[in-house]
A and B are shown apart, each in its own frame.
Chain A
Amino acid sequence: MKPSTAVSVPDHVLLASFRQEQTKEQAFTQLMKQYQERLYWHIRRLVVEHEDTNDILQNVFLKVWKSLADFREQANLYTWLYRIATNESLTWIEQQKKRASVSLSDDENPVAARLEAQKGFDANKLEWKLQKAIQSLPEKQRVVFTLRYYDEMPYEQMASVLETSEGALKASYHHAVKKVEHYLLNL
C-alpha cells in the first residue's frame, strides 16, 4: 500500500514550506498526498469501517495542520504522523468498546460484526479469514502486527511510534504471528 504520488518531497522541505505563510497550504496538500494512503490503510486495518476511517483520518490531518508548525525536526515526520494516527484509532476503539459494553450483550463481538458487514465479505476466503484472525488480537498487539506485517515498518521506527522498546515489540509481533496462525488453523 504505497502512496500513489509520483513526486515525493523530502520531509524537511515540506516542513520548511509549511512554516512559510505563502507556501503553507501547498506544503500541507503535498504532505497529504504523500501520507494519506498509508495512514488511511493503517487506520482502516484497526477500525475496519471506511466511514470511521475517514473520520479518524480527517481528525489526524486536522491535528497535523494545527501542530505541524511546532513539530520538532529531530523527530521523524513519518513516525510522528503514524503516532497520531495510532493514538486516534486506539482512542476511537476505546470509545466504541465503552459504548458496546453498555448496549451489547456479552456474546456479541462488534469488531467481528463490522468485518462481516464489509462489502464482498466471504468467510471462506483466506484474505477474510486472515482479517478475522487479526481482529481477534488485542488492540495494541494488532497495531504491532499490522505495522510490521503490512507497513513493513522497521522495529526502530515502531519503537518511536509506540514508545516501546524494540525487544518488547519483537516479542509482541512474534507472539501475534503465532496467535494468528493458531486462529487460522482452528477456524
Chain B
Amino acid sequence: MKQDYTISDELRALGSPLEAFSRKMPFDIPADYFAGFEAAMHTRVTEASLPQAKNQEAAFAVPEGYFDQLPREVLAKIDGRKENKSKTIVITKNWWLPVRAAAAIFLLLLGGWVYRSALVNRSFDSRLASVPDASLSAYVIQTSSDLNTEKILAGDPVKLQVPLTEEEITQYLDDTGWQ
C-alpha cells in the first residue's frame, strides 16, 4: 500500500469529479469559539467532578451559622417543653374516644337484640300459620273449659280462662311435630 496515497489520488483513481471540489466547509462558526470552548469545558468538568453532596450544598443555601446554633436551639426547645409539662395540666380532646366506643358497643348490642327478637317473632308467626285450623281448634278445646262454639264459629274472639304464652304455644307445636 502506497504511503502517500491521498484522498485525491483515490478519487482520481475512481474517476470522480469530487476530486476537483474544494473541501472547505461552508458552515459559519462563532468567532473565538474554540478559545472559549476550553473554559466552558473546564466549568462542566468541575461541576461533574463535584460529589453529589457538595452539589446539593451549592443548590440549597443555609443561613450563616445555622449549624452552630442548631444544637443550642434544639436544647432550648426541649427545656421549654419540660417546663411546660410541670406547670400546666394538659387536657386533651381524647376523652371522647372511650365514650364514643361505649356508645358504639351499646348501639351494636341493642341492634342485635332487636334483630334477634324480630327473628323469633317471624319464626313463631310462620310456624303458627302452617298449623291446620283443625289442630288449633283441638288445642283450644283441650286447654279451654269454657268454650262457646257458636262464638268461635261466628268469628268472635275466644277468651281463654287460662291465657297461653308464646312459649307454651311453641312447646305445643314442637310436641305435635308442627315445626
In the bound complex, what is the Cα–Cα distance between A187 and B38 (angstroms)?
A: 41
Report whether B45 and A28 are in contact in the complex, using a CB–CB cutoff of 8 Å: yes
Residues of A within 8 A of B14 (CB): 174, 177
CB contact between A125 and one of B26, B28, B48 (< 8 Å): that residue:
B26
Report whether B23 and A32 are in contact in the complex, using a CB–CB cutoff of 8 Å: no
In the bound complex, what is the Cα–Cα distance between A113 and B119 (angstroms)?
A: 85
A91 at the interface (CB under 8 A from B): no
Report whether A36 and B17 are in contact in the complex, using a CB–CB cutoff of 8 Å: no
Report whether B26 and A65 are in contact in the complex, using a CB–CB cutoff of 8 Å: no
Query: Known contacts A62-B44, A65-B48; is A118 also within 8 Å of B28 by CB?
Result: yes
B61 at the interface (CB under 8 A from A): no
Report whether A181 and B18 are in contact in the complex, using a CB–CB cutoff of 8 Å: yes
Interface residues of A, CB < 8 Å — how many? 41
Interface positions of A from 129 to 167, Cβ below 8 Å from B? 130-131, 148-150, 152
| Chain B proximity of A48: nearest CB distance (Å) | 8
CB contact between A50 and one of B7, B23, B28, B41 (< 8 Å): that residue:
B28
Residues of A within 8 A of B26 (CB): 118, 120-121, 125, 127-128, 131
Residues of A within 8 A of B82 (CB): none
Interface positions of A from 57 to 72, Cβ below 8 Å from B? 57-58, 61-62, 65-66
Report whether A1 and B25 are in contact in the complex, using a CB–CB cutoff of 8 Å: yes
In the bound complex, what is the Cα–Cα distance between A177 and B12 (angstroms)?
A: 12
In the bound complex, what is the Cα–Cα distance between A113 and B33 (angstroms)?
A: 24
A41 closest partner in B (C-beta): B25
Residues of B within 8 A of A130 (CB): 18, 21
A83 at the interface (CB under 8 A from B): no
Residues of A within 8 A of B44 (CB): 58, 61-62
Residues of A within 8 A of B30 (CB): 50
Interface of A, secondary structure class, is helix
Residues of A within 8 A of B38 (CB): 29, 32-33, 36
Interface positions of A from 39 to 62, Cβ below 8 Å from B? 40-41, 44-45, 48, 50, 54, 57-58, 61-62
| Chain B proximity of A81: nearest CB distance (Å) | 14
B42 at the interface (CB under 8 A from A): yes
Report whether B25 and A44 are in contact in the complex, using a CB–CB cutoff of 8 Å: yes
A11 at the interface (CB under 8 A from B): no
| Chain B proximity of A61: nearest CB distance (Å) | 5
A25 closest partner in B (C-beta): B42
Interface positions of B from 23 to 77, Cβ below 8 Å from A? 23-30, 33-34, 37-38, 40-42, 44-45, 48-49
Residues of B within 8 A of A54 (CB): 33, 37
Report whether A44 and B27 are in contact in the complex, using a CB–CB cutoff of 8 Å: yes
A13 at the interface (CB under 8 A from B): no
Contacts A4-B34, A37-B34, A148-B7 given; 10 further ones with Cβ under 8 A? A54-B33, A54-B37, A119-B28, A121-B26, A125-B26, A127-B21, A127-B24, A127-B25, A130-B21, A150-B23
4 closest A-B pairs by CB = A119-B28, A127-B26, A152-B7, A65-B45
B interface residues (Cβ-Cβ under 8 A, vs A):
6-7, 11, 14, 16-18, 21-30, 33-34, 37-38, 40-42, 44-45, 48-49
What would be 11 A-B contacts, judged by CB atoms less than 8 Å apart? A4-B34, A29-B38, A33-B38, A40-B34, A41-B25, A45-B25, A58-B41, A120-B28, A148-B7, A149-B7, A181-B18
